[in-house]
C-alpha cells in the first residue's frame, strides 16, 4: 500500500528526497562528462566510442520496459530504485578491475542496464510518494539540477587546467571512505560516482514505501497507452524537441569552442547556466500547469526551444550566448514535467512506471540511436549553425502542429476515454 507524506498544510519539506536528487544527478554528471575521456585514455577510438554508445542504447531500450513492469508489480518501488543504484555503484567500481576493451565495454553495458532505468523509476516513485501532499515533484527535481550544475561548473574548471581541485577533493574522500588514494586522473570519477550512488541507494531503503499496483499475472498493454491521443501528441512533440537537444549537446560545444573561440571554462559555464535556468521553472512548474494547463505549458516550452535554436544559430558573442542558452530551462522543464505529470495523473496506477519507462525509451531511442548518426552526417555536410537553424524552424512547425492536434485529441479523448483502471 502506498504511504504518502503528511498531507496537511504543515507538512515539512522532504529534504531527504531533495538530497537524493542532488547526489543522483551529481553522480550522473560525473559519469556523462568523464566516461568518454576515461575510455579514450584507455585506448578507445572515436569509432569504438560511437559503436559502444549505440550498442549500450539498444540494450537499454530492451531492458528498460522490463524494469518498469517489475516496478509496477513490486511491493516496494523505492527498494527497486535503491537496488538499481547500489548495483550501479558496484558496476562503477568494477571499471577498476581491468583495463581491457572487452571488460570496460561490458561495464558500460551493465551500467546502462541498471542505472538508466533508475532515472524514470525514481521520478515515478517521487510522484506517487507526494500524492495528496503539499509539495510538488518539480520542487524536488530541481535538486537534481543543482547537483548537475555544480558538477558541470567544477568540470569546466577541471578541463580548463585546474584539475588539482577535483583531484584533491576526490583523494580526500577516497582516503577517508576507502582507505587509500587513487592516482589516475579520470579514474577519480568512478570512486566519487560510486560513493554518491551508494548513499542514494541506501537512502531509498529508508523512504516511505510505495507499492506497485499491478497484479503479477496482469498483462502489459502498451497499446492501451497509445490509444490516448493526447499522450501520443505529447510523445511526438517531445521527440521533435529531442532532435534539437540531441544536436545541441552533441555538437554545439564544438562550435562554441572551435568556431567562436570560447574558453573551456566558458563551455563549462554554458552547461551550468543552462542547468541553473531550470530551477525557477521546476519550482513553479506545478503551479503553472494548474493555472494554464498542459497544452499551454508545452506550447510555451516549444516556443522557447524554437527561439533558443534560432538565436543560437545566428549569435557569435559568447557572453550573449550564455544568456540566451538559459532558455533551455523553460524548454526542458516544460517538456519533461508535462509528460511526467500527465502520465502520473492520467495513466492507471498499475501502468505508471511502465508508461514512464516508455517515455524514457522514446526519448533515448530517437535522440541516441536515430538522431545521433543523422546529426553527424548533417554536421559534416552543413555548418553547425545551419543545422541549428533548421532545428529551430522544425520546432516552429511542431509548435503549430501540436497546437492544432492536441485540441483535437482532447475533444476526442473526452468522448472516448481509454486510460481507466
pLDDT in tens, 283-326: 888 888 888 988 999 999 999 999 999 999 999 888 898 889 88
pLDDT at residue 252 greater than cutoff 50: yes
Grid cell locating 43: 585506448
For the chain, the straight-line distance linking the first and the last C-alpha, in angstroms and rounded, comes to: 16
Q: Which of 52-56, 240-244, 247-251, 354-358 has the highest mean pLDDT?
A: 240-244
- CA 179/CA 158 separation, integer angstroms: 24
How many CA atoms, within 13 angstroms, populate the side-chain half-sphere of residue 401?
12
pLDDT digits over 42-87, tens only? 888 766 776 787 788 788 888 888 888 788 788 888 899 999 999 9
Q: Counting runs of H as helices and runs of E as strands, what totals does the chain give?
A: 18, 0
Q: What's the mean per-residue pLDDT of the chain?
A: 78
pLDDT band at 177 (very low <50, low <70, confident <90, very high): very low
pLDDT at residue 6 greater than cutoff 50: no
The SS3 assignment for 348 reads: coil
pLDDT at residue 106 greater than cutoff 90: yes
User: Which letter, b or e, does each residue of 106-137 get, where b requires 16 or more Cβ atoms within 10 Å of its Cβ?
Assistant: ebbbbbbbbbbbbbbbbbbbbbbbbeeebbbb
- CA 333/CA 336 separation, integer angstroms: 5
pLDDT at residue 9 greater than cutoff 70: no
**Which position has the higher pLDDT, 292 or 372?**
292
pLDDT at residue 213 greater than cutoff 70: no
pLDDT at residue 393 greater than cutoff 60: yes
C-alpha 64 chain-centroid distance: 14
How many CA atoms, within 13 angstroms, populate the side-chain half-sphere of residue 257?
17
**Which position has the higher pLDDT, 386 or 250?**
386
Q: Are 310 and 274 in contact (CB under 8 A)?
A: no
The reported pLDDT for the residue numbered 365 is 75
Grid cell locating 317: 558573442
- CA 111/CA 105 separation, integer angstroms: 10
List, in order of start, the domains of the chain with CATH numbers: 13-215 (1.20.1250.20), 223-413 (1.20.1250.20)
pLDDT at residue 89 greater than cutoff 50: yes
Q: Which of 96, 88, 108 is nearest to 27 (CA)?
A: 88
The reported pLDDT for the residue numbered 3 is 43
Of 22-36, 80-94, 317-331, minimum mean pLDDT range: 22-36
**Which position has the higher pLDDT, 36 or 308?**
308
**Which position has the higher pLDDT, 308 or 155?**
308
pLDDT at residue 253 greater than cutoff 90: no
The reported pLDDT for the residue numbered 47 is 67
Q: Are 140 and 19 in contact (CB under 8 A)?
A: no
C-alpha 39 chain-centroid distance: 22
How many CA atoms, within 13 angstroms, populate the side-chain half-sphere of residue 205?
10
Grid cell locating 63: 531492458
Q: Which of 326, 104, 354 is nearest to 225 (CA)?
A: 354
In this prediction, what percent of the chain has a pLDDT beyond 90? 19
Which position has the grid cell 548537475?
A: 148
Amino acid at each position: 500500500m502506498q504511504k504518502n507524506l503528511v498531507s496537511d498544510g504543515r507538512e515539512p519539506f522532504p529534504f531527504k528526497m531533495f538530497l537524493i536528487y542532488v547526489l543522483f544527478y551529481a553522480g550522473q554528471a560525473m559519469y556523462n562528462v568523464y566516461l568518454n575521456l576515461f575510455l579514450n585514455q584507455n585506448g578507445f577510438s572515436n569509432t569504438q566510442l560511437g559503436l559502444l554508445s549505440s550498442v549500450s542504447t539498444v540494450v537499454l531500450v530492451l531492458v528498460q520496459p522490463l524494469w518498469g513492469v517489475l516496478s509496477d508489480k513490486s511491493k516496494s518501488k523505492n527498494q527497486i530504485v535503491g537496488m538499481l543504484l547500489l548495483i550501479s555503484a558496484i558496476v562503477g567500481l568494477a571499471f577498476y578491475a581491468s583495463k581491457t576493451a572487452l571488460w570496460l565495454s561490458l561495464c558500460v553495458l551493465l551500467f546502462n542496464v541498471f542505472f538508466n532505468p533508475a532515472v524514470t523509476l525514481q521520478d515515478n516513485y517521487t510522484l506517487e510518494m507526494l500524492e495528496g501532499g503539499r509539495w510538488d515533484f518539480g520542487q524536488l527535481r530541481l535538486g537534481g539540477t543543482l547537483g548537475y550544475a555544480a558538477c558541470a561548473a567544477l568540470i569546466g574548471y577541471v578541463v580548463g587546467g585546474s584539475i588539482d581541485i577535483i583531484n584533491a577533493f576526490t583523494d580526500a574522500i577516497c582516503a577517508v571512505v576507502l582507505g587509500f588514494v587513487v592516482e589516475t586522473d579520470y579514474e577519480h570519477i568512478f570512486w566519487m560516482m560510486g560513493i554518491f550512488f551508494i548513499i542514494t541507494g541506501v537512502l531509498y531503503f529508508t523512504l516511505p514505501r510505495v507499492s506497485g499496483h499491478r497484479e503479477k499475472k496482469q498483462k502489459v498493454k502498451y497499446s492501451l497507452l497509445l490509444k490516448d491521443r493526447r499522450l501520443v501528441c505529447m510523445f511526438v512533440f517531445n521527440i521533435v524537441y529531442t532532435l534539437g537537444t540531441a544536436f545541441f549537446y552533441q555538437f554545439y560545444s564544438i562550435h562554441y569552442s572551435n568556431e567562436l573561440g570560447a574558453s573551456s571554462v566558458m563551455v563549462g559555464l554554458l552547461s551550468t547556466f543552462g542547468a541553473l535556468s531550470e530551477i525557477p521553472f521546476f519550482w513553479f512548474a506545478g503551479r503553472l500547469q494548474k493555472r494554464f494547463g498542459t497544452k499551454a505549458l508545452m506550447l510555451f516550452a516549444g516556443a522557447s526551444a524554437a527561439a533558443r535554436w534560432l538565436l543560437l544559430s545566428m549569435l557569435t558573442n559568447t557572453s550573449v550566448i550564455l544568456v540566451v542558452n538559459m532558455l533551455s530551462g523553460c524548454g526542458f522543464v516544460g517538456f519533461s514535467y508535462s509528460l511526467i505529470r500527465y502520465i502520473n495523473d492520467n495513466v492507471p496506477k498499475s501502468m505508471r512506471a511502465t508508461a514512464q519507462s516508455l517515455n524514457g525509451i522514446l526519448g533515448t531511442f530517437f535522440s541516441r540511436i536515430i538522431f545521433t548518426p543523422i546529426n553527424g552526417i548533417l554536421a559534416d555536410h552543413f555548418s553547425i549553425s545551419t543545422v541549428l537553424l533548421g532545428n529551430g524552424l522544425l520546432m516552429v512547425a511542431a509548435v503549430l502542429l501540436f497546437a492544432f492536434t492536441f485540441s483535437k485529441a482532447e475533444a476526442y479523448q473526452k468522448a472516448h476515454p481509454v486510460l481507466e483502471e
